[in-house]
Structure 1
């Protein structure tokens, strides 16, 4: 079984973040990075360690980005994990039940 190496660079990270409509502050916080580090990485001005890149990749996945690896047909890229119908269903589920409160159960 072969493993596919996911490579994430600055422009791809910025595209994933834009596609998921999430701020640099939120992604940096989730990836345990400084916002300035993330912004500099996205601009190609700073490299991240392998561990930082892994945390960034995991954070972007949690926000709904799916990194597409490079293959013989096409280059790498990013897309949303969920299709439009699933996103609408998730948004509907999040609004159900009213405000959060303590359960008596």
Structure 2
């Protein structure tokens, strides 16, 4: 599950998607993405519906969210090395 701002930023970087493109794809305002990422290592405070929309938008393009003791991301189908 998408849980921190840094995890979100890492997911975007992994696929080379900018904040505007993600906001459009998720159906949220770009300021929402900016605010989520500004949380850094802290937990996200956006509503669950918003987090789910953003997570789903990234999962649709191949991002997988990992939370094995610490938040991470990877591209689906790659080895289990965490990127965060």
TM-score class, shorter-chain normalisation, is 0.7 to 0.9
In the alignment, is residue 48 of structure 1 matched against residue 46 of structure 2? yes
TM, length-normalised to structure 2 = 0.77
**Matched position secondary structure for 1:17:** helix
Structure 2: stretches of 5+ with no match in the other structure? 79-84
Query: Considering only aligned residues, what root-mean-square deviation do their CA atoms show, in Å?
Result: 1.9
Matched, 1:78 2:77: no
Structure in which a larger fraction of residues adopt strand: 2
Bigger radius of gyration: 1
Relative contact order, higher structure (CA 8 A, sep 6+): 2
Q: TM-score, normalised by structure 1?
A: 0.63
Structure 1: gaps spanning 5 or more residues: 1-5, 84-105
Whether 1:23 and 2:15 are equivalent positions in the alignment is no
Structure 1 ranges of 4+ moved more than 2 A: none
